[in-house]
Amino acid sequence: MDESKDKMKTIETWLKNHDSVYQAAIRHAFIQSIREGTVDFSSFKRWLGQDYIFVRRFVPFVASVLQKACKESDDESDMEVILAGMASLNDEIDWFKKEAAKWDVELPAIAPQKTNQHYCRFLESLMQPDIDYTVAITAFWAIEAVYQLSFAHCLEADAKTASEFRQACERWGNEGFGLYCDSLRKIANRCLSKASDDVLVKTEAMLLRVLELEVEFWNMSEGRIN
Ligand code: HMH
Give the per-residue pLDDT at 7.
60
Distance CA 226, CA 211 (A): 18
Structural domain boundaries in the chain? 3-222
> What pLDDT was estimated at residue 65?
98
Instruction: Output the tens digit of pLDDT for each of the chain's 226 residues.
Output: 445 556 669 999 999 999 999 999 999 999 999 999 999 999 999 999 999 999 999 999 999 999 999 999 999 999 999 999 999 999 999 999 999 999 999 999 999 999 999 999 999 999 999 999 999 999 999 999 999 999 999 999 999 999 999 999 999 999 999 999 999 999 999 999 999 999 999 999 999 999 999 999 999 999 999 9
- Does residue 99 carry a catalytic annotation? no
Q: State the distance from the centre of ligand 1 to the C-alpha of 52, rounded, in angstroms.
A: 9
Cα torsion angle, 125, 75, 152, 99, sign: positive
Q: What's the predicted TM-score (pTM) here?
A: 0.96
First to last CA, the chain: 47
Measured in residues, the chain has a length of 226
Q: Best of 149, 151, 217 to mutate for ligand 1, by most ligand atoms within 8 A of CB? A: 217
Of these residues, 92, 144, 214, 222, which one is catalytic?
A: 214
CA distance 13 to 34: 29
What CA–CA distance (Å, rounded) separates 203 from 225? 27
Residues near ligand 1 (Cβ within 6 A):
51, 54-55, 143-144, 146-147, 214, 217
Superfamily of domain 3-222: Heme oxygenase-like (1.20.910.10)
Residue 214: CB atoms within 10 A of its CB come to: 23
Q: What is the secondary structure of 46-106 as a DSSP string?
A: HHHHHHHHHHHHHHHHHHHHHHHHHHH-S-THHHHHHHHHHHHHHHHHHHHHHHHHHTT--
